[in-house]
Each structure stands twice: as structure tokens, then as C-alpha cells.
Amino acid sequence: MPILDRYLAGAVLGGTLLTLAVLMPLLAVFVLADEIGQVGDEAYRLRDAVWFVTLTMPRYLYQVFPIATLIGALIGLGQLAARSELVAMRAAGLSIARIVRGAMVGGLLLALVATAVGELVVPAAERHALAVRAGARSGDAVQMSGQGLWARDGEAFINVRRIEAGAELADIDLFVFEDHRLRSATHAGKARYSDGQWVLTDIERSRIGSERVEVERFERARWDSLLNPRLLETIVVEPQALSLWGLSRYLRYMQQSGQDAGAHAVAFWAKLVQPLLILAMIFVAIPVLLGSARSSSTGIKLFIGITLGLLFYLVSRTFTYLALLYGLSPALAAFTPPLLFTIGAVILLRRVG
């Protein structure tokens, strides 16, 4: 890699890391302040709230990465502009395209990091965070995994693969043990909490004896469980916290069952476009810097970055609501905001050039 490309990429990386070092503690304080309001609910204590907030930080890191990249690029490259290094590069014959290429090298590294965080770290951390809060607030022993919710109910162990709207569980397995031996295994298609009790539907129960297994089927049965229905309020994973594979799998299920998958479709396309969005933010930063190579202070560039970040957030939220409320294509809603900003940056670059 040419020295100038490494130098420009390093400036982008350094500025972004500095921005995240400032933003993330602030976000943690705000999230903790909001979560403290739940402290004292059942056995939910301050240390549970702190641990919950710590585990949710990867999700917030992933969400603010594009804006942090924009501000970081303005700060990092802005330092080069303030020292007249960008002017010197151009005076030495370095084209704008070369400057863009060098900055994009740093953007590619940041996009890879963001993708790894979003796909590998966020889903696991979010499940663990929800299990911590759910267990403390409901009093149940709860564990979230890639196979859904696991909970202990006396001598029974419960596995819920899906939690749907309206306090409804789907794809449930119940395993009952006596004297450390499995006595029965029950699968139910649905479970709903109604009139103070759980009701199972589409049931298949296998009773395991010493010599044989008896299989029974029921359309409907009452489920005397100690599982707290309030648990459902605290363990629903937001679509933005799922991996692309998890969102894809959930979308297929929602479509097959005829349910509205709008929010998950928007989240899927937003995650798909996230790496491109990070690159677009760096591309947007460059004409701002080149247009005011030595005339603007770091504070003004920081203000410009925050303003552009807020503007992008408002535009992207507008397209998200259009997709959810008026049936706009989720793919179009995800790709349009970064495309608009990129087109604006191209126009500015042509004027600067």
C-alpha cells in the first residue's frame, strides 16, 4: 500500500476512534440513566442495570458507527487540512481521486470492523443482556441462546423458539424430569397467556417409561407454568440487534405465516447497506474538507459533521417510516439516504475540483 494511502487511512481511523472514545461513554451514561428507573423492580439491582448497559453497548456502537465515521473523518483529515498537508498533497500533483482512495482504505477497515461487531458481537451480547434483565425482573432462571429462550420451571425446562406479538409464544418444547431422568417431552405450536393462565395449542406429548414411549396429541390444553408473562416484556430482541442470518430466517418465517414483516425487512436491508453507508460518510467528508482546506477550525468542522450526521439520521428515519407506514420498498428505503448524500458529495467534489 502506498505511503500516502496509509497516511490518509490512518488519519480516518484515528479520528473515528477518538470520536467513538468520546461518544460511547456519553451514550453509556444516558442509557444507564434511563435504565436506573427500572432498578428496584423485583430483584433488579443497580449492578444488574450496569451489566445490562455494558452488554448493550455493542449494539449502540454498531448503530452510531456511520455518524462516528463521518465526524472522525472530518476530525482526522481536518487535522491534515489545518496543517496544510492536504494543500501540499494537491500542490504536489496528488489528485482528489487519490485522496478519496486513501481515505476509503481506512473506511474499508472500519466497515469490516462494524460488520464483525454487528454480525458476531451484537446478537450474542444482546441475548445475554436481555437474559440478565429478564432473570432479575421476573425472578425466573432465564437464558437466551441461538435456539431461543431457555427457562427452568420447577422440574421442567422450557425452550421457546419464537416470541410473537401479543404475549404469544411459538414453537415450544417442554422437558419434565423426575429423579434426574427425563419423564416427558412436549412440543406445542403456540402458547398464549389468557385469563391468568397459559394455554397450549397443537400439542404432541411423549411420555417416556422404562420400557416404551407413549405419544399423545391434543389440540388444546392448559399449561400450569410459573413462567412469568412479564418476562415477554424484557426479552424481545429488537430487529436491529439480530444478525443478517437471523433476520433472513425470521423474515422467511413471517412470510410463510402471513404476518407483517415490515420492521424486520427494513432492519435487514439497513444492516446490508451499513458497510456502504460507512464508506459514503467518508466520501461526504472529503468535499467539506477540500472546500475549506485551511479556513475552518476543528470546531467548525466538528459542527459540520454533527449537523450532517443529524441530517442523515432525520432523512433515514423518514424513509424508514415511509417503508413501514406506506409500503415503500425496504431496499429502496435503506439505499436512498446514502445514495442522496453520495450524489451531493459528488456535486461538491466537482465544484471543488
pLDDT digits (tens, 9 = 90+) for 286-307: 887 776 555 556 677 777 778 8
Task: Judge whether 232 lies within some domain.
Answer: no
200 and 283 both lie in a single domain: no
For residue 303, tell me if it sits in a domain: yes
Same domain, 217 and 261: no
Report how many domains make up the chain.
2
181 is in which domain, residue-wise? 155-225
Q: Considering the chain, what is the average pLDDT of its residues?
A: 81
Give the pLDDT of residue 325. Answer: 80
User: Within a domain: residue 262?
Assistant: yes
Q: Are residues 68 and 126 in the same domain?
A: yes
Domain co-membership, 255 together with 196: no
Residue 307 inside a domain? The answer is yes
In this structure, are 130 and 267 located in the same domain? yes
What is the pLDDT at residue 346?
85
Q: What is the pLDDT of residues 37-81, one digit of tens each?
A: 877 766 778 888 899 899 999 999 999 999 999 999 988 888 888
Q: Which range (161-165, 200-204, 233-237) has the least confidence?
A: 233-237
Q: What are the backbone angles phi and psi of residue 294, rounded to the nearest 5°?
A: -125, 0
What pLDDT, on a 0 to 100 scale, did the predictor assign at position 316?
86
In this structure, the answer to whether residues 33 and 55 fall within a common structural domain is: yes
Query: At how many degrees (to 10) do helices 298-326 and 330-352 cross?
Result: 150
Share of the chain above pLDDT 70, in %: 85
User: Is the same domain home to 175 and 88?
Assistant: no
Of 225, 258, 286, which residue constitutes the final position of a domain?
225
pLDDT of residue 297: 64
Whether 100 shows a pLDDT value over 60: the answer reads: yes
- pLDDT score recorded for residue 348: 80
Residue 347 and residue 306 share a domain: yes
- Residue 230 counted as domain residue: no
Q: Is the pLDDT of residue 140 over 70?
A: no
Domain match, 220 and 111 both = no
Classify residue 170: in a domain, yes or no: yes
Q: Is the pLDDT of residue 167 over 70?
A: no
On whether residue 147 sits in a domain, the answer given is no
Specify if 149 maps to a domain: no
**Of 225, 254, 270, which marks where a domain is finished?**
225
pLDDT band at 12 (very low <50, low <70, confident <90, very high): very high
Out of 60-74, 190-204, 232-246, 310-324, which region has the weakest mean confidence (pLDDT)? 232-246
Within this chain, do residues 115 and 161 fall inside the same structural domain, yes or no? Answer: no
Is residue 166 predicted with pLDDT exceeding 70?
no
pLDDT in tens, 266-277: 888 888 899 999
pTM of the model: 0.76
pLDDT digits (tens, 9 = 90+) for 106-122: 999 999 999 999 999 99
Select from 225, 248, 280 the last residue of a domain.
225
Same domain, 180 and 202: yes
Q: Do 247 and 221 belong together in one domain?
A: no
